[in-house]
Structure 1
């Protein structure tokens, strides 16, 4: 895991990430429990000095019968559960912060293409290997094999060069293919369904509310670790972060992959239970449009995904209900273009990816 960061999840609870992995720190500085990458332990102390004691590892014979050992195991179990919940919340909160290679404008230079003679010379060097200058028969055989391989190698170079030119110039088929390949390993399945000029149209399939934890770690007034049920309002707020996070990370990846794109329009579908015939169903819950220029300069580590959607996206559709702002399906009766966009998606294939 590159770099290091630390995020405050709740009063008395902080999650950090380093090369050792995710680690939760629970309680005040004078009596803090640490769980996750690097093992379980407690630290005590105030001011500039602290003392750390590991809890994991061996124990003395007979200690398993002592009340203090049993209580310690219960605390460790609760701490591990708290760490799991904190990590799940952190993953949702940080979806949109994933980094991609910086996108460049369409004026990016095309890599230099070697000449046919240069390719032949390189193939000859590869086939000759460690042949000495006086090993004439071996060198002649290497040259013969290099000339035989040249047409195939040259065809691949020409195809790659042609693909690069087409991608930079915004050829729709080339951009669609590049996006589809890039999205293959995304957490939420993404289907690129069209490219018009400098704009790509994407459909993203996200999980339902069950993907959001129902409980969260916190501490009591005395500083003890506690796991409590998340309020309905907080849980739906976190779900909106999940929806917005997947939308943003898909758009950012599209801009990084295709330099010709200046706009990305997205429809986010929520995966739902199959219908009575066993066919997959999905409800549209968010439609929005993002522009490359408006994403430049955003302080990604400091803002939430929903902040970005609310402040910089265009033509956003979201249907929330009640005090908790539950995310409900969109009514697209007056949006035939969005309906056609969704209909162009192989929902069965997307649903298979998310499951």
Structure 2
């Protein structure tokens, strides 16, 4: 049997509403209704009838409170005590938040003040003057045409044709004059840079003090170099006053909860002493990094004494480069080691008989040190203007801050317009003065060709490898006479872009139109004696799987102030790394030491790994 639906009750009626479905059984005079609502008994006459429930009606709920008499009461709000309790809780939460913020701030402040010495300072390198912009005949012709065609109408065909002829005639002369002038500027800048470097290395007092003070200008403790005696530099440092420290420090209650407690005198002195040591060590580290010829630094620390509110010396001593560089500075507490590794060190904070740190600062007696005493007498406080005197001292120590008098750097390579060249043509046509650098066309090298570099190349040699078609990296190997490096530090590549204290370094890769150019700078005169050769090589990007045959328009350009050379290596599809050129020391017929350049253009199929192994680098 399938699904069936049957209504078999006589007198059954069905009523459907939103409250459910109801069924009624019985005559209209007395009808029982059963359904989704409640069971009722109906009786009545005509279309109207009354209905009485038989029981089991719904229970109604009432959320309002009633009194015993049955009357409904009004809902009540929180009491005054409850509101006061909530207010106190909010105040306590606000106080705890402010306390936690103050604790975090104090911890960060102390960490910053006592961790200055953990910074690293890169040593200064010989300056490399960038070469002048490369100009071409199309550029010169465009400049000349713009000048000669100015003011001529579009329909002045004869005049425009004549102007173009004049432009074609003038462009080569304009180009040659600008190139010669720019290379002359480059030679002057290079000579100035080398002169500055030699003065710095030779510990010329004015050069060293100016360079060091420029580096000190952004230090948290103001200071400056005031003199150089042989290889010893004198530095004065201004330490923050101990009264500038906060009055509170983070602590914990007996129950282990964080709190703020009053900073005791001994804790205040320890904080201040550690901060002073951190600034002293950082000043020494940066001074040695910036002044390569300095072997020791005499440093004196001046501050305002808390008892007298007068200026006095808080510490002085001599620290050698070896002592500073031999300590592994890792923790803030290491800053206090400045007291132990120096020579003739004196400090205004002493120790008690039990060996504990003293809670007072006593100015050092400098009466037997004429130089320090003279400096202190010159900066002596005036009771009527203590703040002004201290401000004046701070101003003296910061007098070399370059940010206060920096001027826009001049554009040494500003290209003269064609109109300017026209006004200078008579003088420009004169032969160059004796010794003035003159632009010469680059010498094109062939594989295996070698030549002797001029003396100018010793002071600054630029290298540029330009290419297209695929990506390649420039690498340098500083080797002995057998083309083997003495250590992996003599391998210059993208992860180690400098060697021999900056005498050989990569300058980065740039896009130049459709080509890529990676440059390097070499200071032959600064290379150590064990470096007898320098290999200039390229290697393909290992991730691409491409070979040197994928390179197009590859060219190595090298030059100094007055001469340049170019070499186009072969596009060999069988290799992934190539020695493009070599520089090597040579003894001339006059028994004079010279550097020579040789074009090579040979390589290795296994790429950079094979190239590095062939030069003695441990590739793992």
TM (norm. structure 1) is: 0.66
Contact persistence 1:203–1:342 (CA under 8 A):
no
Q: Hey, what's the Cα distance between the residues in 2 that align with 1:214 and 1:238?
A: 12
> Over aligned residue pairs, what C-alpha RMSD do you find?
3.7
Change in Cα spacing, 1:231 to 1:112, as seen in structure 2 (3 Å) is closer
**Structure 2 Cα separation of the partners of residues 129 and 181 of structure 1:** 41
**Does residue 251 in structure 1 map to residue 278 in structure 2?**
no
Measure, in 2, the Cα distance between the counterparts of 1:194 and 1:354.
Answer: 13
> How far 1:344 sits from its partner (Å)?
7.5
Question: Shift of residue 285 of structure 1?
Answer: 1.4
**Residue 272 of structure 1: how far off its partner (Å):** 6.1
Which residue is 2:103 aligned to?
Answer: 82
SS of alignment partner, residue 330 of structure 1:
coil
Q: Normalising by structure 2, report the TM-score.
A: 0.40
Q: Aligned to 1:269, which of 287, 302, 308?
A: 302
Residue 159 of structure 1 deviates from its aligned partner by: 0.9
Counterpart in the other structure of 1:208 = 241
> Aligned pair in 2 of structure 1 residues 344, 254: CA closer, same or farther (>3 Å)?
farther
Q: Which of 92, 96, 114 is matched with 1:71 structurally?
A: 92
Work out whether 1:286 is the aligned partner of 2:315.
yes
Structure 2 partner of 1:336: 370
Q: Quote the Cα distance in structure 2 between the aligned partners of 1:142 and 1:272.
A: 67
**Are the aligned partners of 1:167 and 1:175 in contact in 2 as well (CA < 8 Å)?**
yes
C-alpha deviation, 1:332, in angstroms: 1.5
Aligned-partner SS, 2:275: helix
CA distance in 1, matches of 2:200, 2:257: 56
Q: Distance in 1 between matches of 2:305 and 2:397?
A: 11
Aligned-pair distance for 1:258?
0.5
Contact 1:285 1:318 in 2 (8 A): yes
CA distance in 1, matches of 2:92, 2:140: 67
Q: CA deviation at 1:354?
A: 8.2
Distance of 2:210 and 2:303 partners within structure 1 = 24
Aligned length: 276
CA distance in 2, matches of 1:352, 1:325: 30
1:199, CA displacement in angstroms?
Answer: 0.7
Identify the residue that residue 295 of structure 1 maps to in structure 2.
324
1:189 maps to 222
The structural deviation recorded for 1:304 is 2.3
Q: How far is the alpha carbon of 1:343 from its aligned partner? A: 5.9
**Deviations along 1:72-109, whole A, 9 cap, x unmatched?**
32221111111111111112221222221147xxxx7x
1:172 corresponds to:
205
Report whether the alignment pairs 1:124 with 2:135: yes
Residues 1:97 and 1:67: Cα distance change in structure 2 (over 3 Å): same
Measured in 1, the distance between the counterparts of 2:135 and 2:393 equals 47
Q: Distance in 2 between matches of 1:316 and 1:125?
A: 63
Name structure 2 gaps, 5 residues minimum: 1-82, 146-166, 380-388, 399-620
The corresponding residue for 2:394 is 351
1:96 aligns with 2:122: no
Greater C-alpha radius of gyration? 2
Q: Is the 8 A contact 1:233 1:325 kept in 2?
A: yes
Of structures 1 and 2, the one scoring higher in RCO (CA 8 A, sep 6+) is: 1
Q: Secondary structure at the match of 2:302?
A: strand
Q: Which is richer in helix?
A: 1
Does structure 1 retain, via aligned residues, the 8 Å contact 2:221–2:237?
Answer: yes
Alignment correspondent of 1:224:
257
Are the equivalent residues in 1 in contact too, given 2:241–2:303 (CA < 8 A)? Answer: yes
SS, match of residue 260 in structure 1? coil
Q: 1:209 to 1:307 in 2, by over 3 A?
A: closer
SS at match of 1:326: coil
User: Kindly tell me: are residues 229 and 80 of structure 1, through their superposed partners in 2, closer, same or farther at Cα, counting changes over 3 Å?
Assistant: same
Alignment partner, residue 6 of structure 1? none
1:36-84 deviation digits (Å, cap 9, x = unpaired): xxxxxxxxxxxxxxxxxxxxxxxxxx9xx66544433222111111111
Change (3 A) 1:309 1:143: same
Moved more, 72-81 or 227-236: 72-81
